[in-house]
């Protein structure tokens, strides 16, 4: 009996996201951008990222998602600040942050998680 191996496909490297009237073509972060996102998370949390993550409260979970979202948007969507007329993403009004957070949780985070699953896989043949 012949066994067929299923060829695994990488997630889309580039995606387009629509935020209000603007569209943003975004590529999955390169190595430096991945590091920059993680460093920015710790900076935004003032060194307390793990404590916020482990607090387990409704507010801490929301705050952690905001931190993650701000870091990702800052690195991968550099034009967004200008388009939203702010110096930093963290200056957005809470209602604008909520809209971005919904996009982040529903579209951006799942896409990035697909990539991170590949990157964290032990399967040497998976990355092609």
* 107-128 per-position pLDDT tens digit: 999 999 999 998 888 766 555 5
Q: Output the pTM of the full model.
A: 0.85
So what's the pLDDT on residue 101?
A: 97
Strand partners, 22: 19
Q: Is the pLDDT of residue 7 over 60?
A: no
So what's the pLDDT on residue 84?
A: 94
Residue recorded with tokens 């702010």: 86
Report how far residue 68's alpha carbon sits from residue 109's, in angstroms, rounded to the nearest whole number: 9
As a whole number of Å, the end-to-end CA separation of the chain is 27
Hey, is 27 helix, strand or coil?
Answer: strand
Element (H, E) at 19: strand 14-19
């Amino acid at each position: 009996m012949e066994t067929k191996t299923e060829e695994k496909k990488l997630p889309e490297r580039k995606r387009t996201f629509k935020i209000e009237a603007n569209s943003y073509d975004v590529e999955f972060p390169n190595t430096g951008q991945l590091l920059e996102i993680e460093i920015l998370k710790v900076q935004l949390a003032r060194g307390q990222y793990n404590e916020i993550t482990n607090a387990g409260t409704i507010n801490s979970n929301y705050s952690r998602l905001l931190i993650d979202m701000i870091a990702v948007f800052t690195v991968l969507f550099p034009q967004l600040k200008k388009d939203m007329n702010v110096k930093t993403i963290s200056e957005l009004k809470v209602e604008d942050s909520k809209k971005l957070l919904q996009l982040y949780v529903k579209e951006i985070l799942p896409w990035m998680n697909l990539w991170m699953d590949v990157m964290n896989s032990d399967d040497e043949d998976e990355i092609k």
